Structure 1
Amino acid sequence: MKVTPDTPGADDPGPGRRIGLDVGTVRIGVAASDRDARLAMPVETVARETGFKDRDKGDIDRLLEIIDEYDAVEVVVGLPRTLKGHGSVSVKHAKEIAFRLHRRLSNAGRSIPVRMADERLTTVAATAALRASGVSEKDGRKVIDQAAAVEILQSWLDARAADNPQELHP
């Protein structure tokens, strides 16, 4: 099954902070951009609580709090695909979290887009970056999800900047 991510720049909400999410089965890594949407930074790792058949739990509530705290204009959820572009087992988890966030935001009358972004190799890149910076594998587990969320969001921001060069250089 071919899984297609959203495209940065399409229906762009304009200037403002973005939130990036790396959804796993146990944890959700969270990153945020600066106000100019140029640089992604780690925020926190949220423990995953909500299963497929559960009502929204504390993890969804916390993600919505972060969206509010950062006054986000867009949420970017990593779409885990294989190198050939097919959906991995984790696609359902990412889509479920994206759906729940979109539903809650819409029900609250907020029109913040929730996008799916290609996240191939982001965990690999994040792990390599942590290792290169001297972080041990044991210590790295605590922040690897945040680092992967930074990789997802930074890739989105870079692609968005390439699509909207006049916004960055008026």
Structure 2
Amino acid sequence: MGGAGGSIVRAVVQRVSKASCKVDNNITGQIDDGLLVLLGIEQEDVVDDVKWLAQKIVNMRIFGDDNGLMNRSVLDIEGNVLLISQFTLFAQTKKGNRPSFIRAAKQLVAVPLYEKMIEELEFLLNKKIATGVFGADMKISLLNDGPVTIMMNTKDKENY
């Protein structure tokens, strides 16, 4: 469960004007104003980590208010979310030049937690979210707004 520990990125959250995901030239998900969330799941992750992260994502105040200050969340602006599974967030590059992904969760653990993240985000936003396809070769297009990019880590909750 997410206690103090390493500095492994769990999610990269990007404020976007638009984003889309294609698999085999077919669009699997696309959004306008909202968040593109690249999600990595580690072997030790549990449902509590997913719930905490979903809450943080939908309530993070990174959208401009009437004064141009970042005071509004994706929930406040009734924005959208495109969720993409991305095991490469766990790349270890300490040895050699070929990244190791040994810390990324195997499908037996990762798929149910990815599906739980979809469920949590849809519940919190009270609408469907857009997604990629777990494990597929995805092509992601985005127009980063700002740019605003936030990295989040469930193992370091006191700093997020």
TM-score of Structure 1 vs Structure 2, range by shorter chain: 0.3 to 0.5
Report 1 or 2 for greater relative contact order, CA contacts < 8 Å, sequence distance ≥ 6: 2
Normalising by the residue count of structure 2, what TM-score does the alignment of the two structures yield?
Answer: 0.40
- Which structure dedicates a bigger proportion of its chain to strand? 2
Higher helix share: 1
